[in-house]
Structure 1
């Protein structure tokens, strides 16, 4: 039997679905006040498994959760609700856990965030809101998504989820990824090494959803932004470290791009004195593009599916090889 560590809120939500695994797990819960509980009473001896999700990531007890993992004599399996691996906490967990599984079920939520930002920009949302605030019956011109060209860096689960929606609306999509595999959700595919300033200049919307690696560090720099067209939209739902933020703000002042929608920043939480907060051409959200009730439910379903696989000795879905963590450190 294995101890199964999770946030108390996750346990309350999933207890009925966990009951069929009572012969395999003993829930070990942690509250926001860092109280550890054993709601089923049993003490397990075969090691620890754990479910790390938004209940934990955004909890005051996140450090206590991490300490429990770090000090466990034997961490057998860790299920993460995150797709990325480069976070230092996840790095340590990935190095210790015998099995590590990730999640990509948040892609649909993030894709809808991208659509929201795009509809607001191309739909001239700021001018519409201003007209209403002034009580002016103003005819506001806007652009249809079908008339836009998109360049999406990181055409994996998130990039394809965005591409599927943009193509469904009639837009043109160019995807960028290292594998070079064609996709039904892109009109054209490029390798990152083959993206030219001319490719960037064609795009009305440039989206970053690539992972942070040594190769992608500050990929969006002064030269990148100089290639963007006037009136274009820049978006980042990948990692803050993909962007030279000073270069972005300077580029926004010059109108290329005209606007940036950011769900991630280099510093999180963003300090109150950061100019990103108050720049008139920035839309900022607090790394919340995946925080939907539907995304939470899909992550719970994935954890339960993998728990069944674990209990029955079947392959785990989305298992991450140890070499992937080593590659993050190169």
Structure 2
């Protein structure tokens, strides 16, 4: 009898899997299929759990489909019947093991599911700097009513409608950021690695309620990245961690950016050379940095990033939301319908390109 293994019982209470998730999946399965729900807690943080118990491996041996947080190599090793694996995480780095790369198993992830709260975290961090809240917090900690830095001629206060926001990586998170900042009047320049099916210029994005938002200027390649560095007042990193993106924000990149730029990273910590960022922040070359992800996590207590007044640091929690399971379950059910209907892979959502790493 064909089997689906559901291994997504997250240990974190806010992301604990509701009972209705397994009920919806079971209802979507043909009568001849079974659903095995793993009751053991797993770790859905980062790219997903690295642990696999013998009980789970025994279930996977009989499974055709596996839903988990990440896909450890042992799953692929023992799952001789597996045809499709899905990760509740967006990142796939830890799942792209030699076993996964060598297999012909379909691999999907949850890119985009986490996008709305991540985009709102970006917006909060952006406004933190554009409205000088970092200056206000500094004065508050000293119990000091201080207005001088707000009134000086070159006060670091900006309005979004006068800003150009660069978005590096135009997947689910990048698009949600674009919708929000464009609706507030910002000019948006979005970078993709390869050209999109438009000949440059503005493209339209549908807003959350079906309304159209201002045009997004699409750029790509090295020339596009140079335009982002040269023209943007704030740069949002929303790209995956791949060999091509790793360390892309280094000293050279920082020096090519506009003076006073704001850098916001909710993607992956390894996209930034943190030593170069600290140096640029310390000398005022960068207005501020909003960071949710880091090269090493947890961020070491002796990292100079903690002490800088022009950083806002969150502990890799930009995706946290109580609404995760509705979007995640809907994604699983849509692809499950495609799987059962033998739909061509081109019609699926979130199929991971194992070669490219995202």
Please give the TM-score of this superposition, normalised by the length of structure 2: 0.75
Query: Out of 265, 270, 288, which is 1:259 matched to?
Result: 288
Question: Match of 2:251?
Answer: 222
Structure 1 unaligned spans of 5+: none
Say how many residue pairs are matched. 314
List aligned pairs for 1:12-23, cutoff 5 A: 12-20=19-27, 21=29, 23=32
Pick from 135, 160, 171 the counterpart of residue 156 of structure 1.
Answer: 171
SS for the counterpart of 2:246 is: coil
- Alpha-carbon contact 2:168-2:190 (below 8 Å) kept: yes
Distance 1:93 1:302 in 2: 25
Instruction: Please report the RMSD computed on the Cα atoms of aligned residues, expressed in angstroms.
Output: 3.2
Distance 1:44 1:168, change over 3 A: closer
> 2:336 matched to 1:300?
no
Counting only pairs closer than 5 Å after superposition, residues 4-83 of structure 1 correspond to structure 2 as 4-8=5-9, 9-10=16-17, 12-20=19-27, 21=29, 23-32=32-41, 47-53=63-69, 67-68=74-75, 70-83=77-90
Which residue of structure 1 aligns with residue 212 of structure 2? none
Pair 70,35 (structure 1): closer, same or farther in 2 beyond 3 Å: closer
Find the residue that maps to 2:83 and give its secondary structure. strand
Within 5 Å, which residues of 2 pair with 1:1-330? 1-8=2-9, 9-10=16-17, 12-20=19-27, 21=29, 23-32=32-41, 47-53=63-69, 67-68=74-75, 70-85=77-92, 87-91=93-97, 94-95=100-101, 96=103, 98-103=105-110, 104-132=112-140, 134=143, 136=145, 142-181=157-196, 182=198, 183-184=203-204, 186-195=215-224, 199-315=228-344, 317-318=348-349, 320=351, 324-328=353-357
Q: Is the 8 A contact 1:30 1:37 kept in 2?
A: no
Q: Summarize deviations over 1:104-158 as a string: whole Å, max 9, x none.
A: 2222222111101111111111233345552638595642211211122112322
Shift of 1:78: 1.1
Greater percentage in helix: 1
Q: Is the 8 A contact 1:109 1:292 kept in 2?
A: yes
Tell me: CA distance 1:45–1:120, structure 2 relative to 1, closer, same or farther (3 Å).
closer
How high is the TM-score relative to the length of structure 1? 0.81
Q: Once the two structures are superposed, what CA deviation does each residue of 1:216-245 show, in whole Å capped at 9, x if it has no partner?
A: 221111111112233321111222221111
